Structure 1
Amino acid sequence: MLRDISKWDRIGYGGKSTLEKEELRSPDKIDYLIKYPRDTKVGVSWEDITELVAAEIGSILGFETMDVEIVIRNGRRGCLLRNFVRIPEPVPNEEGGVLLSSFDEYQILQATSSLKGNDLIDYGFTLMNKLPYWEKIERKFLEMQFFDIIIGNQDRHPYNWMLMFYSPTDVRLSPIYDNGASLGFRFDDEKLIEVISNEAKLNKYTKNTKVKAGLFERKKVKAKEVVDYLLRNYPIESKEIIENIVQFDLMSYNAYIQGLPILTNSQKEWLMNH
């Protein structure tokens, strides 16, 4: 039985987003955000559940992701996210897109650049290296890249990560958030079975996976190209992260998936085998 939070106070509407959101305050005065699955004309949307599963994958890997719970509010299912932003902050937190947009090159990259593949990735990371905080967040940003590739995140644009200023000198990358547009979140049961039962289709799905790499608002690059770029330009960090990924506790993950009653059998099979 999912927890019912219908009586929690609504304190806001979560700002501009493709998903409907509400900012909530629990009876013990802790702030949360609830996100509801989007309406879609093609397939289904189980984006709240993929947000939950992605957080578990991150947890098993030792990456810092948001706390997620599937709940019911006023008869609707959604994913409940605990607010990780501390208020008040000594210095305002800033989304990545806000920071990068201070560079003229960022506007060119998003609007008119015809670069593709490795050249596009290199251009984006050149901008990241211009940030005065890059050395402080580099490792976490690289972890986020590999995490997004693992889950097939389709929506890691520059406004889906944030720098948190605990003090003017203590700057950290936020926990990895907005992970729901991943893991086949728009595939209905029929499509899930169709892909995982056909090795050629599954390989094609994996090979053709594209990501925004936390750098692009509308452009995407192949996940494989991102991995190749990171291995060339950040070889030590990338190899360490990959070694950690290789040791992923698959038994714990499969047990977690099998224990989620909100998943259909097709979704369970997909999440354990894709």
Structure 2
Amino acid sequence: MLKDISEWERIGFGGKSTLEKEELKSPDGLKYLIKYPRKFNQGVSWEDITELIAAEIGKILGLEMMRVEIVTRKGQRGCLLRNFVEEYDAMMAEEGGALLPSLAETYNELQQSSLKNIELIKAGFAMIEKFGYWESIKTEFIDMLLFDSLIGNQDRHPFNWQLLFFIEEGPIFSPIYDNGASLGFRFEDDQLMRKVLNAREMNKYIENTKIKAGLFEKKSVKAKDLLTFIQKRYPKEFTSSVTKLITFDMARYEEFIQSLDFLSDAQSVWLLHIISFRRRKILEWIGEEVEKNE
């Protein structure tokens, strides 16, 4: 049974977002955010659940993730997120989308440009390399992009990552959050099973995966092209990220999926299949020998 937090105090509405949010305070005084899955006229969204599963995938990869729990509040299911600024006792936090415009014309021109595919990727990284904090966040940023490629995250725009600022340590990359627009979160059960049972359709789906690379607000690039570029441009950091993917503990992941009693049978089958399939494809894209890593 899911934890019911109907009695928790609401202290805010979570700001502008595509998802309905509430800022809450727990009975012991800790701050949280609850996000509810979007409601569409047609189709489904289980974006709260994919937020939870993506967080577990990130933890298995060894990444710093926002803490997520599925709960109910006043009869509505949602994902409960721990306020990591308070949890980490950070002095302040700034989203990438608030920091990158400090590059002024470069940032604005890129968002409005007609560049596509690899040229857009090159321009995006030429921009972020001028960002004052780039060297201190480069490793975590690249980890995040490989993680996004694994889960098929469609929404890693510059306002979906942050820096946390501390008096002594200075800026560090925040835990990774807002990962729900991933893992087929809009697919109904029949769509999930059709892809699982059709290798050609699944392969096409993976090959066409597009992500925003933490750089673009209204533009996307193919995950395959992005990873190929990063592999050449940042070989040291990329090798470290790929090692996390190679050693990904599928048994731990399978055990986690099987422990979730609120998933449909189709969702369970899909979630096990999509991560295994996408992991193999990424390793193929970057020239790793899949057989020795299975």
Quote the Cα distance in structure 2 between the aligned partners of 1:169 and 1:255: 37
- Residue type matched to 1:100 in 2? L
In structure 1, the residue matched to 2:267 is: 267
Question: 1:77: which partner in 2?
Answer: 77
For residue 102 of structure 1, report the CA deviation from its aligned partner. 2.0
Structure-2 residue corresponding to 1:177: 177
The residue aligned with 1:237 is 237
Q: How does 1:128-143 map to 2 (within 5 A)?
A: 128-143=128-143
Counterpart mapping for 1:216-255 below 5 A? 216-255=216-255
Distance 1:31 1:190 in 2: 38
Aligned to 2:175, the other structure's residue is in SS state: coil
Q: List alignment gaps of at least 5 residues for structure 1.
A: none
Deviation at 1:89, TM superposition (A): 4.8
Q: Which amino acid aligns with 2:200?
A: A
Q: Distance in 1 between matches of 2:169 and 2:156?
A: 26
The 10-residue stretch of structure 1 (2-11 or 243-252) with the greater mean CA deviation from structure 2: 243-252
* 2:31–2:86 CA contact under 8 A, matched in 1: no
Unaligned runs of 5+ in 2: 275-294
Task: Tell me, in whole angstroms, the C-alpha distance in 2 between the residues paired with 1:41 and 1:118.
Answer: 35
Q: Structure 1, residues 74-132: CA drift from partner, whole Å, max 9, x if none?
A: 00000000000139754x32110111112211111112x11111111111111111111
Q: 1:40 — aligned with what?
A: 40
Amino acid at match of 1:122: K
Equivalent position of 1:2 in the other structure: 2
Query: Higher helix fraction: Structure 1 or Structure 2?
Result: 2
Indicate the larger mover: 38-47 or 201-210: 38-47
C-alpha displacement of 1:167 = 2.2
Alignment partner, residue 286 of structure 2: none
What secondary structure sits across from 1:130 in the alignment?
coil
SS at match of 1:179: coil
Distance 1:114 1:223 in 2: 19
Q: TM-score, normalised by structure 1?
A: 0.97
Q: Do the aligned partners of 1:100 and 1:128 also contact (CA within 8 Å) in 2?
A: yes
Equivalenced residue count is 272
Partner of 1:160: 160
Aligned to 1:68: 68
Give a deviation string over 1:167-190, Cα, whole Å, max 9, x none: 275111110000000000000001
Q: Which shows bigger deviation, 164-173 or 41-50? A: 164-173
Which range moves more in the overlay, 150-159 or 127-136?
A: 127-136
What's the TM-score once normalised by structure 2's chain length?
A: 0.90
Residue number in structure 2 paired with 1:145: 145
Q: Residue type matched to 1:96 in 2?
A: G
Give distance in 2, aligned partners of 1:107 and 1:169: 31
- Map of 1:110 onto structure 2: 111
Matches of residues 25-36 of structure 1 in structure 2 within 5 Å? 25-36=25-36
Aligned to 1:198: 198
Q: What residue is the counterpart of 2:54 in the other structure?
A: 54
Q: Which letter maps to 1:247?
A: T
Asked if 2 retains the 8 angstrom alpha-carbon contact of 1:42 and 1:186, the reply is no
Q: Tell me by how many angstroms 1:237 deviates.
A: 1.2
Q: Give per-residue Cα distances to partners, 1:140-180, cap 9 Å, x unaligned.
A: 00000000000000000000001111127511111000000
Counterpart-to-counterpart distance in 1, 2:205 and 2:155: 17
SS in 2 for 1:32: strand
- Percent same amino acid among aligned pairs? 56
Report the AA paired with residue 139 of structure 1.
Answer: T
Bigger Cα displacement from structure 2, 179-188 vs 79-88: 79-88
Corresponding residue for 2:283? none
Q: Alignment RMSD, CA only?
A: 1.2
Q: C-alpha separation between the residues in 1 aligned to 2:32 and 2:43?
A: 29
For residues 225 and 175 of structure 1, the distance between their equivalents in structure 2, rounded to whole angstroms, comes to 25
